[in-house]
């Protein structure tokens, strides 16, 4: 692939802070780069939705109440519905959803393996914070995509009702037990670090996607601003759960 060295964004995270640095890289110069970046975004989003379905279905079986089981089962159904929408859109672009997802399976699975919840409450916090962080990034990216594709991303990111349910359950548990609060607060900070690590690996391996993000955010300072917004939103979600 012929390209021009411009720099690859590499992210790093520590409790309460997200930073980035630059590494030399070659980015795609072909006109098809933006199209491939769109396929990459839809592919990683599709695998995220499929993984969310798996996770929510599993969490539903472990719910301590029938109400919780029913709520998470409904959310899982919504996630697989989103997956089907992405599958259909990719098919219209001439791309099989399996092919679009394939480059991102290892990173997604590594993230879930390194952040396997040990309790029902940790599952709720992971879904709320992890999905929220990803959704923030996709919403930013949706504005850089062509009309129909950007609109689809916004539709797929619609709240399935998990937010209010997770806030209610986690806040009640934290109010009842300070040790639970402290443990979940640490868990929430860890999730941010793990998510940023996996994002770093995805961007580093997909030149067109890295170029798309740099171009969409305007420049490298725009990426720094984007990261600060993502971190700020994460902190706000921590507050909404009563973990700040």
Looking at residue 131, its pLDDT comes to: 82
Looking at residue 13, its pLDDT comes to: 45
Looking at residue 161, its pLDDT comes to: 66
* 119-122 long-range Cβ contacts below 8 angstroms, 24+ apart: 120/59, 120/62, 120/63, 120/64, 120/68, 121/169, 121/170, 121/173, 121/180, 121/184, 122/184, 122/187
Which pairing describes strands 26-28 and 8-14: parallel, antiparallel, or unpaired? unpaired
Residues of the chain with pLDDT under 50: 1-32
Domain boundaries, the chain: 3-240
Looking at residue 230, its pLDDT comes to: 86
Looking at residue 134, its pLDDT comes to: 83
CATH number for the 3-240 domain, one of 1.10.1060.10, 1.20.1260.10, 2.40.50.150, 3.90.190.20?
1.20.1260.10
Tokens encoding 3: 């390209």
Using alpha carbons, list the distances in angstroms from residue 183 to 44, 122, 166, 170, 180.
Answer: 30, 9, 16, 12, 5
Looking at residue 90, its pLDDT comes to: 96
Looking at residue 226, its pLDDT comes to: 80
Sign of CA dihedral 107, 109, 113, 117: positive
């Amino acid at each position: 692939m012929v390209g021009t060295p411009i720099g690859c964004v590499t992210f790093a995270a520590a409790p309460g802070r997200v930073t980035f640095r630059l590494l030399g890289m070659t980015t795609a110069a072909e006109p098809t780069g933006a199209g491939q970046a769109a396929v990459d975004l839809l592919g990683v989003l599709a695998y995220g939705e499929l993984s969310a379905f798996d996770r929510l279905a599993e969490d539903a079986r472990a719910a301590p109440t029938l109400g919780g089981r029913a709520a998470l089962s409904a959310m899982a159904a919504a996630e697989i519905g989103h997956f089907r929408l992405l599958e259909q859109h990719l098919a219209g672009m001439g791309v099989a959803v399996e092919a679009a997802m394939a480059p991102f399976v290892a990173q997604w699975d590594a993230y879930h393996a390194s952040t396997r919840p040990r309790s029902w409450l940790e599952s709720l916090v992971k879904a709320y914070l992890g999905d929220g962080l990803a959704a923030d990034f996709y919403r930013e990216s949706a504005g850089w995509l062509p009309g129909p594709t950007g609109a689809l991303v916004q539709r797929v990111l619609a709240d399935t009702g998990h937010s209010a349910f997770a806030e209610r359950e986690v806040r009640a548990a934290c109010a009842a037990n300070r040790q639970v609060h402290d443990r979940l607060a640490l868990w929430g900070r860890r999730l941010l670090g793990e998510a940023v690590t996996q994002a770093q690996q995805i961007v580093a391996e997909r030149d067109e996607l890295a170029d798309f993000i740099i171009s969409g955010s305007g420049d490298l300072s725009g990426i720094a601003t984007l990261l600060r917004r993502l971190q700020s939103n994460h902190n706000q979600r921590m507050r909404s759960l009563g973990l700040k």
